[in-house]
Amino acid sequence: MRQSPIEHCFSQLPGDFGQVGDMRTFLRLADSQAESLNLETIGLADCSFLERTGLKGPLAMEFLSSLGLPVPQRPNHWEPLEGGGILMRLGMTEFFIEDGPSGGIARLISEKLGMDGIEGAYPVRRQDAALILCGTKQNDFLSQTCNVNFAEIDEKNRQVVMTNMVGVSVVMVQNKINERYSWKIWCDGTFGHYFWETLFGITLEMGGGAVGCNRLYPGLA
């Protein structure tokens, strides 16, 4: 029933879709050799199927701690969650949670907050387009699309980058996904079509292209 904000971007790509959770998701390119090449050079995948939510407010941090979650102590940093998820602190009092394929924390938080939130912690219903950027040409790619000096960002520090990429506000973290250093990038889903098409065009120019989610999260469907 959920629809990825960029599902239609894959309509012309030869490959397989599958149902992941309740979202139709692009799983693999028909040409697995080309997909491997994209994965190695510069590849882009849609992982919007992952469950995510957010919250903000003066007591948001206490609320997350009360759930026993590892809350980043510094603004603009993240911590890993069980099941491959991620808990990001955006600024001082806003948090963004995305589950891994097998997590359920985002849904739990949404349910606990309800529609109206609780005292000092208010729900932010994230419906982002979520992309993964991988491959050896990541830095070249990023230098064309974003004015952040990524060379200064060390993956071990678990920094969250909030910036503007090709004119769209994004949240980014560098993470190891299926043993590959990759960038996860989230943007407002209503920009998703433009965002994907623009980035995808650049990957093609750089000798890469789309990658199915199965390559990054094997065994999805």
Partner 1 sequence: MTDLSNQQAASNAALEKNRMARQDGEWIDRNQPLHFVFEGKTYSGFVGDTISSAIAASGNLFMGRSFKYHRPRGILSMSNHDINTMMQDDQDPTIRADVVLAQNGMQLRTVNTFGGLKSDRGRYMNCLSRFLPAGFYYKTFHTPKWLFPMWEKMFRTLTGLGKVNFETPRRYTAKRYAFADVLVIGSGPSGLSAALAAAKAGAQVVVVDENVRPGGSLTYDYGGMDESPALLGRLLSEVTACEKIEIWAGTLAAGYYSDNWIALVDDQRMTKMRAKTVVVASGSYEQPCVFRNNDLPGVMMASAAQRLLRRYAVRVGRNFVVLTSNSAGYRAALDMVSGGASVAAIVDMRPEGELSHWHELAAGLGIRILAGHCIYEAIPEPGRYGVSAAVVKRLSSAGEIEQAGGVTFSCDAILMAVGYAPAANLLYQAGTKMRYSHEIEQFVPDLLPESIFACGRVNGVYTLSSRLLDGERAGLEAAQKAGYVVEQKRVDVPAEPSGPTHPYPIISHPKGMNFVDFDEDLHLRDFYVSVQEAFDNIELMKRFTTVGMGPSQGKHSNMNAIRILARLKGKNIDEIGTTTARPFFHPVKLSHLAGKGFTPERLTPMHHRHQELGAVFMDAGNWKRPEYYQIEGLSRIEAIRQEVRSVRTNVGMIDVGTLGKIEIFGPDAVLFIERMYTGLFAKQAVGTTRYALGLDETGVVIDDGVVGRLAQEHFFVTTTTTGSAQIYREMNRWALLWKMNVGIVNATGYMAAMNLAGPKSRAVLAPHCNIDVSDASVPYLALRTCEIGGVSARIMRVGFVGELGYEIHVPSEKGAYVWDLLMQEGQKYGIQPFGVEAQRILRLEKGHIIVSQDTDGLTNPFDAACGWAVKMNKPFFIGQRSLKIAQATERKQVLAGFALAENYRGELPKESHLLIEAGDIAGRITSITDSEALGRVIGLCFVRPDLNEIGRMVQFRLSDGALVPAQIVATPFYDPDGMRQKV
Q: Which chain residues interact with partner 1 by CB under 8 A?
A: 1-5, 8, 23, 56-58, 115-117, 122-128, 140, 143-144, 146-149, 151-152, 166-168, 188-195, 198, 202, 205
The residue among 78 and 186 lying less far from partner 1, judged by its C-beta, is: 186
Decide the pairing of beta strands 43-46 and 209-210.
parallel
Which residues face 79 on adjacent strands? Answer: 87
Q: How far is the CB of 71 from partner 1 (least distance, A)?
A: 18
Comparing CB distances to partner 1, the nearer of 170 and 215 is: 170
What are the φ/ψ torsions at residue 191 (nearest 5 degrees)?
Answer: -90, -5
Q: How does strand 94-98 pair with strand 160-165?
A: unpaired
- Enumerate the β-bridge partners of residue 176: 181
Q: Which of 141, 147, 149 is nearest to 198 (CA)?
A: 141
What SS3 class is residue 111? helix
CB of 109 to partner 1, least distance (A): 15
Residue 80 vs 206, nearer CB to partner 1: 206
Q: Shortest gap between Cβ of 64 and partner 1 (angstroms)? A: 15
Compare residues 73 and 149 and give the one whose CB is closer to partner 1.
149
Closer to partner 1 by Cβ: residue 25 or 35: 25
**CA 58 to CA 74: how far, in whole Å?**
15
Question: Least distance (Å) from partner 1 to the CB of residue 9?
Answer: 10
* In the complex, least distance from residue 159 CB atom to partner 1, rounded to whole angstroms: 16
Q: Which ranges of 58-135 would DSSP assign to H, the alpha helix? A: 60-66, 105-113
Within 10 Å of residue 92's Cβ, how many Cβ atoms? 11
Q: How far is the CB of 205 from partner 1 (least distance, A)?
A: 7
Residue 194 backbone class (left: φ over 0; alpha: ψ -120 to 50; beta: rest): alpha
Helix H or strand E segment including 90: strand 85-90
48 vs 182, which CB is nearer to partner 1? Answer: 48
